[in-house]
A and B are shown apart, each in its own frame.
Chain A
Amino acid sequence: MLNEQIDITLSISDKWEAEDLVLRNIVKTFDDRRGGIVYAVNDISLTIQKGEFVTLLGPSGCGKTTTLRLIAGFEDPDRGEIILGRKNINNVPAFERNMPMVFQSYALFPHLSVFENIAYGLKVRKIQADIRKNDVEMALQLVNLIGLENRYPGELSGGQQQRVALARAIVLKPKIILFDEPLSNLDAKLRAQTRIEIKRLRQMLGITAVYVTHDQAEALSLSDRIVLMNKGKIEQIGTPEEIYNKPESLFVADFIGNANFLEAVVEDIGEESVVVSLQDRQVKIVKENTCSGLMEGEEVYLIIKPEAVRIGKNADDFKGKISSKFFLGTSMEYEIEFEDSIITSIQPNSGDLDMSIPAGEEISISFNKNYFQILKKD
C-alpha cells in the first residue's frame, strides 16, 4: 500500500515544475461604504521560494485573504508586481494562473459528483478522458477518498468535503497551491488529523504552498516560514522558531505565544550584553536578544513567554501572588499578580493530582533569563 502510494506521487511530482513567486510592493485598497478607502494590503513584498511552505498569519482583517486572492488573480493589485519565475503575471487572468486554491468554504460544485469535481480542472484543460480518469483516481487515493467518487458534496461530511477540495487542487499538478484557512470549519480533532495529512502530502509532493490561517498552532506546525501580518503590512518574516522565540515587535510578541510584557529600564549597554533593571534588580541580557537603537535610561519592555516563568519558593526571587489558575490538560496556567500587572505562567502537568497551587497564595517567581527579549516601547 505504502509503496504503491509513493509510486503515484513520484509520477505526479515528475511533472511538478515549481518556480519562485515574488510579490513586490503590492497595494490593494477597497472602497468602504462611507466613500473612504481601506488599505487591505499595504505595500507588501515577499519572496516565496519553490518548494517552500509559507504561511500568512495574522489577526482577522489583516489582509491575509486579500493577499491570497491577489496571488490567485481574483483581485488586481492597485500597485506593485506579482512575479512568477521571471514573468510578471499581474495581467494573467485567474484562469490561466494554474494556482489552485483550497477555499475555507471548500467551494465544491454542489451539482457535480466527487469524481466530476476533481476532474473539473482537467476537463477544462481538455485532458483526454482516460488520462483524466487515471489522474482523478490517483488523487482520490492520495486523499483516501476511494469509494466516494459518485457521491455529491451534499452527501459528504465536512472532513470528506475538505479532502475533495484538496484532491481537486493537487490533481492539476500545479506549481503552487493556495490555502485559505482550509481547516477552520473542522472540529478540533479532525483539524489536527488533516494538518498531519497536509504535512504528509506536502512532503511527498514537494508542493510550493501559500497557506493562510489565523491559528498559530497551525502556522507553527506546518510552515517553513511564517509571514506575520498586521493591518495590511508585514510585521515579521521568519521560520516558526524565529517568529516564536525572537519576536521583533510588540505585536508579534503579543500575537504569538501570549508573551508577558514586563516594564524595565536600560541601565548599561555593553559589547556583548545589555543590563536592564527589573524592579530593583539587574538583569543581563545577551546582545542577540535585544533590539538596536537602545539608549541608557530608556524604558523598555522585557518580553518573556509564559513557559519561561517559573514558580517556586526560593526566597531571593521576585514576589507574586496567584490570582487564578486554569487546568489545560497538558499544563497548568497561572495568572499571577506581579507588581501592578498580571503575568501568565505555564507549568507542565507533572501528573500529581495535588500539584497545583491554590489561588491567593504568595509565591516567588523566577525567570529563565535566556528567554528574555528586549523590545522598545512604542
Chain B
Amino acid sequence: MSSGIVLSIRKHRNDLIRLVKEPVLLFGLSVIFILLMVFIVYPVFVSARLSLFPEGKFSLDVYKYIFTHNRFRTAITNSILLGAIVATTSTIIGFIFAYALTRTKVPGQKIFKSFVLLPMISPPFMFALSVILLFGRNGLITAGLLGLDRYNIYGLKGLAIVQTIGLFPLAYLTLSGILQAIDPDLEAGAMNLGAKRLRTFMTVTLPLAMPGIFASWLLVFVGSLTDFGNPMVIGGDFNVLSVQAYLEFTGMGNLPRGTALSILLLIPTVAIFLFQKYLLRKKSYTTITGKSTRRAALKATPLINNLLFIVCLIVLLFVLMFYVTIIGGSFVWLWGLDWSFTLKHFAYSFDVGLETLKDTIFLAVIATPVTALLGMLIAFFVVRKSFPGKHVMEFVTMMSYAIPGTAVGIGYILAFNKQPLLLSGTAFILIACYVFRNVPIGVEAGIAALKQISTDIEESSTNLGANSTYTFRRITLPLITPSFFAGATFAFVRCMTAISAIIFLVSARWNHLTVLILAQTEIMRLGVASALCFVLILIIMVFIGIIRKVIGLGQEKIFGTVS
C-alpha cells in the first residue's frame, strides 16, 4: 500500500511539473482561482461572519431573534409551503409536457417545443404583473368579465400560479432529458411480457423516471424559494424569506438580521444542490450506453394522445395569454377603467427609462462575453487538464449557481464596501455579480461541448507539436464555438432579467431595468411597467434571433457530416 502512496505523490509531482512547463497554464489557473475565491467564496464568508459575529463577538442572538419572532417564523414556513406547492404543480405540468413531447406523437410537437421554454427568458416578475392585470382588483377577468368586486389575488394563490408558470419549463427540461434516456425497448419489453399500457407506465416508465422527478421537484423548490421578484410584487401579506431579507437589510437597515435571513435561504438551497449533484446523480438508473440507437417511441392510444394534447394546449394558451396581456397593458390608457389606445406609457418609459435601459444593455454586453469565455476556460481546465485543486475549482464554480441571489447581493454589498475592494456603486460590482453568478452556465455548456470533442483530437494537436495555448486557440475553441454562443445567449438573458442580487447593488449611476419596472409596479404605474417589460422582452428576442442567425450560418458548412 505504501508503494501506492508513493506513486500517488509522484503523480501529483508530475502534475506540478507539467504546470511549471507551461507557464501560461499556470498563470491562467492561478488567476481563476483567485477570482473564484474573491467573488464567490469571500462574500458568503463575510455574510456568515456578520450574522454569527454581529458585534465582533460570536453570538447566535440574531438567529435566536429570528426563530422566536412570528414575522420571521411565518416567512420560513410560508417559503417552504409555497416551494412545496409550486414544486409539485410544476413537476406535474413539466412531466406532462416532457412525456407528451418525448414519448408520444402528439400533434404540434414542434410548436410546443419552441414555446414551452418561453417563460425562462421572461423578466422575473412579468407574470406577476400580468396576473394583476388579469385577476387583480381591476383585473380584466375578475373585475371585467366576472364582475367580482375587489377580488384579492395577492398572496399564496397568485404566487403559486405565477411561480408555476415561471418554473414548469425547468421541470420540463430536467424530465425530458430523463425520459429521453429511457430506452423505449424497455417499455416495449414490458408490453411484450404482457403488461398493459398503464401497467407498463406504472411499473417501468415511472420508476425509471423517479430520480428525475425528484430532481426536478427539488430544482423547482429551490427556484421558488429564491424567487424575489414575484413575491415582492404579488406577495401581499404572504411573507417570504427572500423579501424579508431584503426589507430587513435595505428597508430597516438591520444588516446582521437581513444577512442572517439570507443565510437561512442559502443553507437549504446549497444543501439541495449538493444532494442533487452528488447523491441523486449517482443513483440515477438511466445508463446511457451509447450503443442502442434510438428507436421510435411506442405509439400511445389516440385517447391518451388527445388528452395530453389538450392539457399542453391549455397550459400553453394560458402562458401566451400572459404575454398578450403585457403587450395589451402597455398600449391602453388606464387598465380596467379606460381601454383607449395610447403610446403615452412608452413615451413616459422613454423619459424615465432610457438611461437605465442603456445601462442595462451596456452591463449585459460587457458581462456576457466575459462570462462565456471564463466558463469555457474553466470547463477546458476541468475536463482536459489535471492539476492540483481541480475538484475545488469545479466545486466552487458550480456552487455559485446554488447561492440565492439575495445572499449574493447582500454578500457583495458587505464584502466590497471598503478598500482595497471598494466596488459598491460601480459598474464593476454589477458586472462581477453577473459574471460569477452565470459562469456555471458557461462551464456547463463548455463541459458538454468538450465531452463531445474526443480527447484524441486535442492530443493529436499536441502530438503534432502544438502547446496547450495553440491547441486551445486553433482546435478546441473553434469546435466549441456553437456551445459557446449557446451559453453566452443564456447568460445574456440572465443578465437582462436579473433582479434578486442586482437590487442590492444598483446605484443612482448604474441602474437596471428590472429594478425600474419593480419600482413602477409598486407605485401601480402598471402601464409603464408593462411597456418596460415589453421592451425588455423585445430586446432579448432580437438578441437571440441575431445569435441564431450568426451561428446558424457557418456551422454545417464547417463541420460537414462529422458533427
Are A and B bound to each other?
yes
Question: Is B302 among interface residues, defined by CB-CB distance under 8 A?
Answer: no
Instruction: Choose one: A27, A78, A100, A152; the contact of B463 (CB below 8 Å).
Output: A100
Which residues from A are CB-within-8-Å of B462? 73-74, 93-95
> How far, in whole Å, are A72 and B462 apart by their CA atoms in the complex?
10
Which one of B22, B456, B464, B562 lies within 8 Å of A93 (CB-CB)? B22
Q: Across the interface, which residues of B come within 8 angstroms of A120, CB to CB?
A: 461, 464, 466, 474
The 4 closest A-B pairs by CB, nearest first: A154-B560, A154-B562, A121-B464, A107-B456
Q: Please state if A74 and B459 are interface contacts (CB–CB under 8 Å).
A: yes
Nearest Cβ distance between residue A169 and chain B, in whole angstroms? Answer: 8
> What's the least CB distance linking B552 to chain A, in Å?
16
Separation in Å of the B553 CB from the closest CB of chain A? 14
| A107 near B21: Cβ-Cβ < 8 Å | no
Stretch touching chain A among B8-16, B103-111, B210-218, B241-249: B8-16
Those of B411-467 within 8 Å (CB) of chain A: 454, 456-457, 459-467
Q: Which residue of B has the minimal Cβ distance to A96?
A: B465
Contact between chains at A107 and B460 (CB < 8 Å): yes
Task: Give the contacting residue for B563; candidates A73, A91, A99, A154; CB below 8 A.
Answer: A154
B40 shortest CB reach to chain A, Å: 28
Name 9 A/B residue pairs within 8 A (Cβ), A-sorted.
Answer: A78-B10, A91-B17, A94-B459, A104-B456, A110-B558, A110-B562, A111-B478, A121-B464, A154-B563
- Chain A positions within 8 Å of B559 at CB level: 110-111, 152, 154
Interface residues of B in 86-143 (CB under 8 A from A): none
CB distance from B168 to the nearest CB of A (A): 37
Asked if A306 lies at the interface with its beta carbon under 8 angstroms from chain B, I say: no
User: Is residue A153 within 8 Å, beta carbon to beta carbon, of the partner chain?
Assistant: yes
Pair B7/A94 contact, Cβ less than 8 Å: no
Chain A contact residues, majority secondary structure: loop
Chain A residues, Cβ within 8 Å of B465? 95-96, 98, 121, 124-125, 172
B60 CB–A CB distance under 8 Å: no
In the assembled complex, A101 has its CB within 8 A of some CB on chain B: yes
Residues on B with C-beta less than 8 A from A168 are 460, 464
Complex CA gap A76/B465 in Å reads: 17
- The answer to whether A105 and B454 touch across the interface, beta carbons within 8 angstroms, is yes
A124 B464 Cβ-Cβ under 8 A? yes
Q: Is B4 an interface residue (CB 8 A)?
A: yes
Q: Are B459 and A154 interface neighbours, CB within 8 A?
A: no
Kindly state whether residue A17 has any CB partner on chain B within 8 Å. Answer: no
B15 to chain A minimum Cβ distance, whole angstroms, is: 9
A107 contacts across to B, CB distance below 8 A: 454, 456-457, 459-460
Bound-state CA distance A90–B502 (Å) is 52
Instruction: Count residues of A near B (Cβ-Cβ below 8 Å).
Output: 38
A37 within 8 A of B: yes
**A152 CA / B456 CA spacing, docked (Å):** 18
Complex: how many Å from CA A37 to CA B7? 9
Determine the distance from Cα of A93 to Cα of B459 in the docked complex, in whole angstroms: 12
Residues of chain B lying within 8 A (CB to CB) of residue A101: 459-460, 463
Instruction: Beyond the given A72-B463, A95-B466, A110-B457, please list 6 additional residue pairs across the A-B interface where CB-CB is below 8 A.
Output: A78-B7, A98-B465, A107-B457, A107-B460, A121-B466, A124-B464
- B11–A78 contact, CB under 8 A? yes
Q: Does A29 contact B (CB under 8 A)?
A: yes
Q: How far is the CB of B563 from chain A (nearest CB, A)?
A: 6
B289 beta carbon closer than 8 Å to chain A: no
Q: Is the CB of B460 within 8 A of A103?
A: yes
Q: Is B470 an interface residue (CB 8 A)?
A: yes
Mostly, the B contact residues are helix
CA distance A101 to B456 in the complex (A): 10
Within the assembled complex, what's the spacing in Å between the Cα atoms of A364 and B562? 57
In whole angstroms, what is the CA distance A96 to B463 when docked?
8
Give Cα A104 to B470, complex, Å.
23
A31 proximal to B (CB < 8 A): yes
The A-contacting residues of B in range 380-415, CB under 8 angstroms, are none
- Indicate if B38 sits at the interface (CB-CB under 8 A): no
- The answer on a CB contact under 8 Å between B7 and A100 is no
A155 at the interface (CB under 8 A from B): yes
Whether the Cβ atoms of A152 and B560 lie closer than 8 Å is yes
B459 to chain A: which residues have CB within 8 Å? 72, 74, 94, 101, 103, 107
- Quick one: which of B8, B457, B467, B479 contacts A31, CB cutoff 8 A? B8
Whether B479 contacts A111 by the Cβ 8 Å rule is yes
- B558: chain A residues at CB < 8 Å are 110-111, 152
Q: Is B206 part of the contact surface with A, judged by Cβ < 8 Å? A: no
Nearest residue, chain B, Cβ from A172: B464
What B residues does A16 contact at CB under 8 A? none
CB pair B464–A100 under 8 Å, yes or no, is yes
Asked whether any CB of chain B lies closer than 8 Å to the CB of A255, the reply is no
Render B1-33 as a binary contact track against A, CB cut-off 8 A, 1 for contact.
000100110110010011001100000000000
- Asked whether any CB of chain A lies closer than 8 Å to the CB of B561, the reply is yes
A109 at the interface (CB under 8 A from B): yes
Residue with the greatest number of chain A CB neighbours at <10 A, chosen from B465, B467, B559, B561: B465
Q: Which residue of A lies closest to B554 (CB)?
A: A111
Is B463 touching A105 in the complex (CB atoms < 8 A)? no
Min CB gap A49→B, angstroms: 22
Residue among A72, A91, A120, A153 with the most chain B CB within 10 A?
A120
Q: How far is the CA of A311 from the CA of B462 in the complex (A)?
A: 56
Given the known interface contacts A110-B562, A152-B560, A153-B560, the answer about A94 and B463 at a Cβ–Cβ threshold of 8 Å is yes
Instruction: Given A93-B21, A103-B456, A107-B459, verify A124-B560 contact (CB < 8 Å).
Output: no
Task: Fill in one digit per residue for B494-534: 1 if any A CB lies within 8 Å of its CB, else 0.
Answer: 00000000000000000000000000000000000000000
Q: What residues of chain A lie closer than 8 Å to B11, measured between beta carbons? A: 76, 78
Question: Could you tell me the distance between the alpha carbons of A356 and B11 in the complex, rounded to whole angstroms?
Answer: 60
Give A72 to B464 CA distance when docked, in angstroms.
Answer: 10
Distance to closest chain B CB from A13 (angstroms): 20
The residue of chain B having its C-beta at the shortest distance from the C-beta of A99 within the complex is B463
A152 touches B562 (CB 8 A): yes
* Chain A: CB-nearest residue to B1: A37
Chain B proximity of A349: nearest CB distance (Å): 37
B475 close to chain A: CB less than 8 A: yes
Q: Which of A76, A100, A105, A124 contacts B18 (CB 8 A)?
A: A76
Q: Which chain B residue has the least Cβ–Cβ distance from A118?
A: B464
The CA-CA distance from A285 to B454 in the complex, in Å, is: 53
Please name all residues of chain A whose beta carbon is closer than 8 Å to the beta carbon of B466 when the two chains form the complex.
95, 120-121, 124
Q: Are A110 and B7 in touch, CB under 8 angstroms?
A: no
Rounded to whole angstroms, the CA-CA distance of A29 and B462 in the bound complex is 22
B22 touches A109 (CB 8 A): no
Among B14, B460, B561, B562, contact of A76 (Cβ-Cβ < 8 Å): B14
C-alpha spacing A121/B466, complex, angstroms: 7
Smallest distance from the beta carbon of A40 to chain B beta carbons, Å? 12
Q: How far is the CA of A98 from the CA of B466 in the complex (A)?
A: 10
A79 to chain B, nearest CB (A): 8
Measured in the bound complex, the distance between the Cα atoms of B559 and A103 in whole Å is 20
* CA distance in complex: A109, B456 (Å): 10
Contact mask for chain A residues 154-193; partner B; CB cutoff 8 A; 1 contact, 0 none: 1100000000000010001000000000000000000000
- Chain B: CB-nearest residue to A29: B7
**Cα–Cα distance between A150 and B542 once the two chains are bound (Å):** 36
A125 to B464, alpha carbons, bound, how many Å? 9
Q: Cα distance A84–B58 when bound, in Å?
A: 63
- Docked CA distance A78–B562 (Å): 37
A207 smallest CB distance to B (angstroms):
16
Nearest chain A CB to B2's CB is how many angstroms away? Answer: 12
Query: With A74-B462, A109-B457 known to touch, is A95 a contact of B562 (CB < 8 Å)?
Result: no
Contact B22 A110 (CB under 8 A): no
B456 touches A105 (CB 8 A): yes
Cα A344 to Cα B112 with chains together (Å): 64
Interface string of A56-84 (1 = CB under 8 A from B): 00000000000000001110101100000
Residues in B with CB closer than 8 Å to A74 are 459, 462-463
Nearest to A98 among chain B residues (CB) is B465
CB distance from B283 to the nearest CB of A (A): 16
